[in-house]
Amino acid sequence: MLIDKNSPLPIYHQIEEYIKDRIEKGELKPGNVLPSEREYSQLFQVSRMTIRQAINKLVNDGYLYRKKGSGTFVAEKKFEQALQGLTSFTEDMKARGLTPSSKLLHFEIIPASPQVAATLQVAENTPVYEMKRIRLADEIPMALETCYISANLVKGLTEEIVSHSIYKYIEEKLQLDIGEATQIIESSLANETETELLKIKKGSPILLIERCTFLTNGTPFEIVRSSYRADRYKFISHLKR
């Protein structure tokens, strides 16, 4: 039996679980078109309204997406990103077996604004690198990062270096020890720039992450404001009592 009409669980919820289960088992793969509401309503012997309710929930939760005029499709699986470890984008993608890359949009040394200076604990107008990078995994844009790095601390950055891993350069070339970071995560909707650069639809969900990272000696060296695609990312944290 696919669903149990006598169960206290709402029928739309059981259908939702059935579709999720087929996705998780790989019977419905990313990019596959979902059977129509009519087919499902015949299969489960329930109204199309009930099917629509289940599908809407799965669209909202990012398991499915709709394409105007062509139907409902199975979405790519979201990346699960642990919130405990202080890792770089390059490390995260490699750990998933994906090829990381960056598209550098902007790179400049500027005088620190009062806000940047306060966070990086330097005097106002101290030189800082300002850069903007699109971070890609297997050529697919995942996040947009705007970064401020203390130029007196992280010396010698070039366009070439920041097109690869900044953390690798800091640790291996400069022999500085990256220690810890604080991070703030907020939800948002893609603005025009994010829509264009991340190749997503206007108003798509975005996770805004602001990270301030410190060396092991407690000196802050970077402020990064990132826009992550919320259709491709979920963040997992482990809580202990």
Both tokens assigned to 118: 């306060």
10 Å Cβ neighbour count for 82? 12
Least separation in angstroms between residue 149's CB and ligand 16G is 8
- 174 sits in which H/E element: none
CA distance 234 to 114: 33
Q: How far is the CB of 131 from ligand 16G (least distance, A)?
A: 10
Q: Does 88 bind ligand 16G (CB under 6 A)?
A: yes
Within residues 181-220, the interface with ligand 16G by CB under 6 A covers: 209, 211
Candidates 2, 21, 19, 27; CA nearest to 55 is 19
Q: Other CB atoms closer than 10 Å to residue 207's CB: what's the count? A: 19
Residue 24 beta carbon to ligand 16G: minimum distance, rounded to whole angstroms: 26
Q: Which letter does DSSP use for residue 240 in this model?
A: -
CB closer to ligand 16G out of 14 and 213: 213
Indicate whether 101 belongs to the interface with ligand 16G (CB under 6 A): no
Return the range that interacts with ligand 16G (CB under 6 A); candidates 47-55, 88-96, 192-200, 232-240.
Answer: 88-96
Residues in touch with ligand 16G (CB under 6 A) = 88-90, 145, 147, 165-168, 209, 211, 222, 224, 226
